Amino acid sequence: MSTTQSERLRGLLEPLVSAKDLDLEEIEVSRAGRRRMLRIIVDSDEGVELDACAELSRAISDKLDETDAMGDEEYVLEVSSPGADRPLTEHRHYVRATGRLVKLQLHEDGELVARILSVDDEGLDLEVPGVKGRKPTARRVAFPDIVKARVEIEFNRKDKKEEEA
């Protein structure tokens, strides 16, 4: 997708997404055979429910039908939340991942797997799990030291709601 089309779509769709109290994370146009695929990724601090995606999809479809933003070619519209394997790239992504286990690729220290305890403007306060019966340790990582970050999927960890019950 050209930058001009991307900027135009973002300008057109961002108010619709914001009106639903969601963040527009990504816009992607790709080919799917003869058709094009327009994929809109949205998120919020509370996550995104299926009903919200469906409502937003209808609103986006109506808006795109009113304009020529997608041209005359057929396209398929997909509105969804980011997958579990989405990279953490924005400050808000780290805030939303507080309490979760993350894998960080660091400039100097290689790879680190740790739980995010808190996030501020400069970086992360982490809890590094202990190995072989050792206690976890605290660690501070500044944002400029992070090359890549991704949430690690945990199948056996209770979420906050279960722990409070």
Give residue-wise pLDDT tens across range 42-67: 998 888 889 999 999 999 999 998 88
- Residue 127 near residue 105 (C-beta atoms within 8 A): no
| pLDDT for residue 158 | 55
pLDDT class of 38 with cuts at 50, 70, 90: very high
Question: Mean pLDDT of all residues in the chain?
Answer: 87
- Residue 16 near residue 59 (C-beta atoms within 8 A): yes
pTM: 0.72
| pLDDT for residue 147 | 95
| pLDDT for residue 161 | 46
Q: Write out pLDDT tens, residues 114-157.
A: 999 999 999 999 999 888 888 999 999 999 999 999 999 888 76
Q: What does the alpha-carbon distance between residue 12 and residue 139 come to, in Å, rounded to a whole number?
A: 42
pLDDT class of 160 with cuts at 50, 70, 90: low
| pLDDT for residue 77 | 92
Q: Is the pLDDT of residue 69 over 90?
A: no
Q: In what order do the strands lie in the sheet with 123-128?
A: 137-142, 123-128, 110-119, 101-106, 146-151
By 3-state DSSP, what share of the chain in percent is helix, strand and coil, each rounded to 5? 30, 35, 35
Q: Is the pLDDT of residue 162 over 60?
A: no
Q: Is the pLDDT of residue 110 over 80?
A: yes
Output Rg (C-alpha) for the chain, integer angstroms.
19
Q: Write out pLDDT tens, residues 73-93.
A: 888 999 998 887 789 999 999
| pLDDT for residue 5 | 77
